[in-house]
Amino acid sequence: MSSTPTPTPDQPVDDRSGGLARGRLGTFDIFFFVVAAAAPLAVMAGAAPLAFRLGGIGAPGAYLFSGIVYILCAAGFTAFARHVRNAGAFSAFIGRGLGRTAGGAAAFVALLSYALICAGFYGFLGFYAASTFNPMIGIELHWSVYALAGLAVVAVLGYRQIDIGARVLAVLMILEVLILAVIAVAVLATEGTSNFSIEPFAPGNVFNLASGGMFVLALGAFIGFESTAIYAEEARSPERTVPRATYFAVGFLAVFYAFIAWIAVAALDVDGLVEYSLSDVFQGLYFMLAESYLGAWASTVMGLLIVTSILAATIAFHNATSRYLFSLGRDGFLPARLGVTHPRFRSPARASLVTTIVSLMLISLTVTFSADPYLVLLLWTNGVGIVGVVALQAVCMVAVIRFFARDRRGHGVFRVLVAPLLGVIGLVAGLVLMVTNLELLTGRTDWVNWALMLSLVVAAVVGAFRARRLGGGGAGDAGDAERADAEPGGERRRALGMSTKK
């Protein structure tokens, strides 16, 4: 007598059951989603000056070191991705490695984190767009006008085919990287080797008592690297494209961030950069470099491209949030209607629409209460989201270690055990820095910080409770998964969402 298997968070669905469109994304499509989510121009022009101010000249080394931590995480992450392909990457990975209850908790924390980051970026977009375009057009449009215009663009792209969004992101990302590369070339062509220095990478300048706040910004600059696995169901040859996209994205960001941060040192020399970072105009560091080495036009172009950089990041986080909603609807954690794809586009259209509505609600609340789009809508939401994502990354590495502890499945010990362990250490250290420097993430120094963080705990409890209500729970589910894979055809049956129990 057979029974209908309860959906689990790590079961991909075959095309015949209305799954996401297969084979739409190649390595570089996924690469663009990840790098766009990181918003390299916004990170460098917006956050790097503050990193210099907080931690001194060691910021280039901090970005490079953070990249190394994430490359170590990527080693185990991509190995695990070969065994779990699901649009709800965190919930699927953690559920597979640590059990259904942990997977349920991770699912709701991931959904909350990504949804808040996505919604918060509309405040970021509105703030920068108003600052950039209002002086140009001579009209003082409210920031919400720009935020709603961005929302409309993101909503259309999120509703349609995933490859259309990938092409838009590719153009926007190339432009923002290009302007920073042009500034770097201009600095090196002008200054030559006169200000070359390895001091920004010296351990004493990177790791010191003042570097805590700097590492909060450096680690946060890589948020979204794990989203490569979210697109595995829509990738061409995911066993190859997901690892390649992950390594390319993390490696590129690590080198690019470190290099562009170091360019500021090459332009001003060590003493000059320290002096500038402590001045009242420190936040305009890269705009000053653009104007000084290229002309006023470059500073204007950079302002425009920061807006498109933020828009690109918003598109990427919207797509990630939609796919978490879709996955949880498909797996029974949320209403099944969310787990249905568009009949033509094969996109998670309903989940995308819900994501748009949630973002619209937060924009509306911010306007209703006359709150600041940057200090409230952006910082409050992203403070919660960044802490949530980094915590999930650390737990995910623990799941990787547990999954491969008994059977490395042909992988080397460094890739699936040593590297993830080192990644856990780095991420936990980063998480401690974030929690002890919450004011940098939220802009608050009072009880609001802990009230915001409490939402993550509530999400985890609700997710765990929901998982247990659906049946199963605990680490036993992970053990069942491992035994199922050992059976002939077990991995294939799990990939089709079929019962593996005799």
Quickly state the pLDDT bin for 15 (edges 50, 70, 90): very low
Neighbouring C-alpha atoms within 13 Å toward the C-beta of 249:
35
Q: What is the CATH number of the domain that holds 80?
A: 1.20.1740.10
- Residue 131, exposed/middle/buried by CB under 10 A (0-12, 13-18, 19+)? middle
346 phi-psi bin (left φ>0, alpha ψ -120 to 50, beta other) = left
Alpha carbon dihedral 310, 433, 397, 31, in 10-degree steps, equals: 20
Query: Can you tell me the mean pLDDT for 389-412?
Result: 93
| Least confident segment among 10-19, 152-161, 330-339, 346-355 | 10-19
What pLDDT score was predicted for residue 162?
56
pLDDT in tens, 137-166: 999 999 999 999 999 999 998 877 655 656
d(CA 164, CA 344): 14
d(CA 406, CA 90): 21
* Residue at 3 is within a domain: no
Question: Which of 236 and 57 is assigned the larger pLDDT?
Answer: 57
* Residue at 392 is within a domain: yes
What pLDDT score was predicted for residue 170?
78
Strand-pair partners of 235: 25
User: Is it the case that residue 502 has pLDDT exceeding 70?
Assistant: no
Mean pLDDT score across all residues of the chain: 84
Query: Can you tell me the mean pLDDT for 242-264?
Result: 93
* Residue at 199 is within a domain: yes
* Residue at 209 is within a domain: yes
Chain Cα centroid distance, residue 175: 20
* Residue at 437 is within a domain: yes
Quickly state the pLDDT bin for 268 (edges 50, 70, 90): very high
Question: Which of 12 and 400 is assigned the larger pLDDT?
Answer: 400
* Residue at 213 is within a domain: yes
Chain Cα centroid distance, residue 426: 17
User: Is it the case that residue 339 has pLDDT exceeding 60?
Assistant: yes
What pLDDT score was predicted for residue 22?
63
Domain residue limits at 200: 21-470
* Residue at 501 is within a domain: no
Whether the CB-CB separation of 348 and 341 falls below 8 Å is answered with yes
pLDDT in tens, 184-202: 999 999 987 777 789 999 9
Whether the CB-CB separation of 385 and 120 falls below 8 Å is answered with yes
d(CA 206, CA 193): 22
Strand-pair partners of 25: 235
Whether the CB-CB separation of 378 and 310 falls below 8 Å is answered with no
Segment 189-194 long-range contacts (CB within 8 Å, at least 24 positions apart): 190/293, 191/266, 191/267, 194/269
* Residue at 443 is within a domain: yes
Report the run of H or E that residue 461 belongs to, with start and end: helix 448-469
| Least confident segment among 404-408, 435-439, 462-466, 494-498 | 494-498
What pLDDT score was predicted for residue 128?
92
What pLDDT score was predicted for residue 193?
73
What pLDDT score was predicted for residue 369?
96
User: Is it the case that residue 349 has pLDDT exceeding 90?
Assistant: no
d(CA 305, CA 466): 43
Quickly state the pLDDT bin for 33 (edges 50, 70, 90): confident
d(CA 88, CA 346): 17
Structural domain count of the chain: 1
Quickly state the pLDDT bin for 19 (edges 50, 70, 90): low
pLDDT in tens, 381-400: 999 999 999 999 999 999 99
